[in-house]
Amino acid sequence: MRAFGELEADVMRIVWASSEPLNIQGIVDALNGEGRQLAYTTVMTVTERLRTKGWLERVKQGRSFRYSAVRTADDYSAGLMQQALDSSADRTSALLRFAGRLDASEAAALRQALEDMPADPAQDG
């Protein structure tokens, strides 16, 4: 999995924050409301690329499409973390260094998640 480019990340952030599917103009307005001046066609191209990559889906509504996220921001973050682990020569060391950077509440959440995990996660899916 590749990390999003800057505009891809911004589009996904807007879509993830929305409680309903957005059309391209809605995404453009949200992005341009942040002080940018992006062309409709630029945002449309990026949005369609995200759809092709499996991050967005679209539904025809009237004369336009409305886009919503297929996967969550947490899925994206977890994928990046998995990619980082996969690139490490020593996964255990990388995990320990990562865990050492967590604040107390994050460490507690991780401990709880590990306690709740089945003994053999491969059998759980």
- Looking at the chain, which runs of residues are DSSP E strands? 56-61, 64-69
Domain range summary for the chain, segments of one domain joined by +: 6-69, 73-116
CATH number listed for the domain at residues 6-69: 1.10.10.10
pLDDT for residue 111 is more than 60: yes
0.85 surpassed by pTM: no
pLDDT band at 121 (very low <50, low <70, confident <90, very high): low
Instruction: Quote the CA–CA distance of 102 and 82 in Å, as a whole number.
Output: 17
CA-CA distances (angstroms) from residue 81 to 45, 86, 122?
A: 27, 9, 19
Answer yes or no: are the C-beta atoms of 114 and 102 closer than 8 Å. no
Residue type, 112: Q
**pLDDT score for 37:** 94
Answer yes or no: are the C-beta atoms of 30 and 12 closer than 8 Å. no
**pLDDT score for 32:** 95
- The 10s digit of each residue's pLDDT in 52-70 is 999 999 999 999 999 999 9
